[in-house]
Structure 1
Amino acid sequence: MDFDTAASHCPPTAARKQAANVDAFLSKPGIARANIAASTAAPDGSPESVVKYKDYTVLQQHVLFWDRDADGLISPWDTYIGFRDLGFNVLFSLLAMLIVNVNFSYPTRLAVSWWPDPLFRVYVGGIHKAKHGSDSGTYDKEGRFVPQMFEDMFSKWDVHNSGSLSAGELWRMIKGHRLAADPFGWGAAIFEFGTTWLLLQKNGRVSKEDLRQTYDGTIFWKIKEARESGKGWNKGFGLRDLIAIGQRKSKSHVM
């Protein structure tokens, strides 16, 4: 490269290294993909999304799991049922319903009307208007997917180059993305990435491919299918993990 990517008077530019070789795997990685969540490991995105949801942006694909009747509207009940299908308990699903529909109904409603939706429904067609600050920038302002920004998440925050992110690395990423005077964006990022870790972690880490499939929503359908098939979903953090932690602590105290 014939230019610098770090400046000595701004230490974060040296500590948070960009993914500089993405163009070796993807053509024009800085150009947002409308309907493909492309990465260096999956340059063509998720085949099922490309075929079934090619007329939707990647951000729209992310939320279609909750629009089961395909009417373009996600009611509070739809949100609750979707989180339950992912394996979250009643209390968490109710909390998610409140957070999602109370906060994102009106922004998405603005795509069709200035008047709030009295039923607090989220509008899939206007979901790009619900994009908040202090995020990774992987979705652009129209809901397209920017491969360079996705790859930068791992080059900057995956300190061991493991192809995954721990809870601690996700937390440092959230803090690193914080913008001034943006408490809503901070809270939204904590909820989104915190929920992602609870849903997808294995051995304490979220893999790059699982996170990519979270962006285009394909991972949600896979979790639902695994749970309904009887095989169950073998990732995530739940009651069994809390019990295991408690047992380890008990043993350590005994010793």
Structure 2
Amino acid sequence: MASPSPADPSLETEAPHAAVTRERRLNPDLQEQLPKPYLARALAAVDPSHPKGTEGRDPRGMSVLQQHVSFFDRNGDGIVYPWETFKGLRAIGCGYPASFVFSFLINLVMSYPTQPGWIPSPFLSVHVKNIHKGKHGSDSETYDTEGRFDPSKFDAIFSKYGLTHPNALTKDELTSMLKGNRNMYDFLGWIAATGEWMLLYSVAKDKDGLLQQETIRGAFDGSLFERLQHDKKSS
């Protein structure tokens, strides 16, 4: 498939008088690299290197967002309690203090939106089936509002902010992405996004201090957590 002619203004991704569109570029060839990149996938986190998602992974009928969260459902009952979040964080390499603080904050924020009714849970339980209701703003929008995985939004993380390496983010680029994704006055979203991404960076950066594209993709469908847990047990 031939690339669209840049002379066609209806297909341009950069506006001459909007410098930010030149600074944060989109990938015009994504449709050649991945079928229907505009189509959010319900069951698989896909990119050009993984057009069918993580090889050998059984989604078990869950959305990509549900797969991400279900790693922390340690007993598989569909409900995540703070102590399960704590165990999950410890399993992927977080220290005791960070695991304790994050497990409390995550469940505190996510519990009520995911409850099946109007009554809050005194145990701060998070219901996996309703996790899409806990999606916050000021994020990359790779998860859509139903918990599907949007390949075009995922690709934009790197086309916009991966300026040093095309398939990875430095810590400074990660910080730039967090600032660029902020919605006005969405203070809770700013804090949540920063906490999530910095936690990911702390446990999953490589020896060069880079957060690789495959690492981030694995975080979205939860397969990264399983690999980190396996590596921690092996070591």
- TM-score, normalised with respect to structure 1: 0.86
| Aligned counterparts of 1:161 and 1:82: Cα–Cα separation in 2 | 30
- Residue in structure 1 matched with residue 167 of structure 2 by the alignment: 163
Between stretches 196-205 and 6-15, larger displacement belongs to 6-15
Report matched runs for 1:88-127 at 5 Å: 88-109=94-115, 112-127=116-131
- Residue in structure 1 matched with residue 37 of structure 2 by the alignment: 29
SS at match of 2:218: helix
SS at match of 2:228: helix
| Amino acid corresponding to residue 131 of structure 1 in structure 2 | K
- Residue in structure 2 matched with residue 75 of structure 1 by the alignment: 81
What percent of counterpart residues are identical?
37
**Structure number with larger C-alpha Rg:** 1
| Aligned counterparts of 2:110 and 2:56: Cα–Cα separation in 1 | 27
- Residue in structure 2 matched with residue 199 of structure 1 by the alignment: 203
| Aligned counterparts of 1:107 and 1:36: Cα–Cα separation in 2 | 24
| Amino acid corresponding to residue 204 of structure 1 in structure 2 | G
Q: CA deviation at 1:19?
A: 1.5
Q: Is the 8 A contact 1:155 1:161 kept in 2?
A: no
SS at match of 2:56: helix
Between stretches 135-144 and 14-23, larger displacement belongs to 14-23
| Amino acid corresponding to residue 151 of structure 1 in structure 2 | D
Q: Is the 8 A contact 1:68 1:78 kept in 2?
A: yes
Q: What's the C-alpha RMSD, in Å, of the aligned pairs?
A: 1.0
- Residue in structure 1 matched with residue 92 of structure 2 by the alignment: 86
- Pairs aligned (count): 226
The structure that is helix-richer by fraction is: 1
| Amino acid corresponding to residue 102 of structure 2 in structure 1 | A
| Amino acid corresponding to residue 11 of structure 1 in structure 2 | A
- Residue in structure 1 matched with residue 157 of structure 2 by the alignment: 153
Q: Is the 8 A contact 2:44 2:59 kept in 1?
A: no
- Residue in structure 2 matched with residue 39 of structure 1 by the alignment: 47
Q: Is the 8 A contact 2:159 2:166 kept in 1?
A: no
| Aligned counterparts of 2:232 and 2:165: Cα–Cα separation in 1 | 31
| Amino acid corresponding to residue 46 of structure 1 in structure 2 | T
Q: CA deviation at 1:221?
A: 0.7
Q: Is the 8 A contact 2:164 2:170 kept in 1?
A: no
SS at match of 1:192: helix
The question of 1:220 aligning with 2:225 is answered: yes
Q: Is the 8 A contact 1:76 1:97 kept in 2?
A: yes
- Structure 1 segments, 4+ long, off by >2 Å, are none
- Residue in structure 1 matched with residue 21 of structure 2 by the alignment: 13
Q: Is the 8 A contact 1:25 1:43 kept in 2?
A: no
